[in-house]
Amino acid sequence: MERPLTEHIRADRRPLSLGEYEKMGGYQSVRKALKEMTPKDIQTVVKESNLRGRGGAGFSTGLKWSFVPMDAPSPKYFIVNADEMEPGTFKDRLLLESAPHQLIEGMIVSAFALQADISFIFLRWAYKEAANTLRFAIQEAYDAGYLGENILGTGYHLEMHLHTGVGRYMCGEETALLNSLEGKRATPRAKPPFPQVSGLFGRPTIVNNVETVSCIPHIVNKGADWFQKLSRTNDAGTKLYGVSGKVKHPGLWELPMGVTVRELIEEHAGGMQDGVKFRGVLPGGASTDFLVEQHLDVKMDYASVAAAGSRLGTGTMIVLDDKTSVVGFVKNLIHFFAQESCGFCTPCREGLPWIEKILHALQEGKGEAGDINLLEFHTKYLGPGNTFCALAPGAMEPLQSAIKYFRKDFEDYISEALKNQSLTTGLPKKQNLITDISKL
């Protein structure tokens, strides 16, 4: 089984020096791309490879690149989104800390394909080790002539900068990231115009994920057909899959695209810990819908997970067990998203804290009849098309699916609360005035 992204990562995860990386074939794609290929050639092979963005959206990388106007004057920008802040997601950290030259090589080839002359790595503030590793690797690349003026004597120039974010999840949205890079408040921008045409400082810009860009050198070296054959499904390549929760061996593995949920949990993560049972899983990070036992044999690719009612997202799953309160589980996620809302639009700014208060009241034994209806209303009010960006709709995915699959858990909290309140007052609890929110 080929693992191009991780095959040269050491057991102790220490990064290879530039010399060690070159001995493993490193930077050969830079030589091939800059000396033997045109920017159009590179764009074509990436598009034909069916590489889809590994940051969560799964959009075709080659198609995204094709929207950049190649005749636009300098500067153009190529940016790597390394602002990995979603709960349960830790895949890019491995590549940043242990394979920095692979990322830098991918950035050089990608930037050349777009004729970009300035590149940035936008890094999560908490990734201190990654920051130190990347600074050292970037300097090595400059010293070796892979960055800067007249790279390898080809006349191509590329600057590369490491930018540490300010600690906002919102910066994972590409236009909010661009605002942050410009020194502005990290709020999303209206589209159109799209960044490919008017991005950083109003210039053509591409923003790609760490794992996505790390695939580029291998595609250029070995071709589109090779990359497609790595997968078990129509979605090409390998994928970094992660599992967290009460499994025996939580971790991260590079595997063919299309492994099943069952294989990841039972074979690679070792199954559930003793004394707990599987109940459900968020397959692609905190902003995806639950899958349950009936979905264990679903393939972890974009189409299959979507058909099951969720999203592949980042491919880093969070497992729910039978000893963990599903209400508390979801409340913790909503608390995170409420804190990280940029506050730009009303549904997200006001709705997320309201949902958190309802869930907190349920946990505290203060639930009321009608609370589930209120929560269901919010999943629609904060859903796609009602907010400025995807933060709130993403936050609604674990909530709406929790109510769908684990509704009795919510009902039990309310029943117990009403029972206790009746015992305390000696009178039936007054019915919540909002019993059917859909009639509002």
134: confidence class by pLDDT, cuts 50, 70, 90 = very high
Residue ranges of E strands in 310-436 = 316-321
Cβ proximity of 197 and 178 under 8 Å: no
pLDDT digits (tens, 9 = 90+) for 188-241: 998 899 999 999 999 999 999 999 999 999 999 999 999 999 999 999 999 999
Dihedral sign (CA 360, 361, 367, 368): negative
* Helix then strand then coil, % of the chain, to nearest 5: 45, 15, 40
Record: fold of 238-321: Ubiquitin-like (UB roll) (3.10.20)
In whole numbers, what is the pLDDT of the chain averaged over residues? 93
435: confidence class by pLDDT, cuts 50, 70, 90 = very low
**What's the pLDDT score for residue 424?**
66
- Average pLDDT on 149-176 reads 94
Q: What angle do CA 358, 364, 366 make, to 5 degrees?
A: 65
Closest to 368 in 3D by CA, of 334, 416, 408: 416
Say yes or no to pLDDT of 420 above 90. no
Residue 207 β-bridge partners: 79
Helix H segments across 261-345? 261-262, 302-307, 326-340
pLDDT digits (tens, 9 = 90+) for 78-87: 999 999 999 9
Distance CA 242, CA 11 (A): 17
Q: Which architecture characterizes domain 18-229 according to CATH?
A: 3-Layer(aba) Sandwich (3.40)
> Could you tell me the residue ranges of all domains in the chain?
18-229, 238-321, 326-439
Record: fold of 326-439: de novo design (two linked rop proteins) (1.20.1440)
**What's the pLDDT score for residue 429?**
47
pLDDT digits (tens, 9 = 90+) for 34-57: 999 999 999 999 999 999 999 888
pLDDT digits (tens, 9 = 90+) for 233-277: 999 999 999 999 999 999 999 999 999 999 999 999 999 999 999
417: confidence class by pLDDT, cuts 50, 70, 90 = confident
**What's the pLDDT score for residue 57?**
83
**What's the pLDDT score for residue 425?**
63
pLDDT digits (tens, 9 = 90+) for 347-401: 999 999 999 999 999 999 998 999 999 999 999 999 999 998 999 999 999 999 9
Q: Give me 187's structure tokens.
A: 């709020």
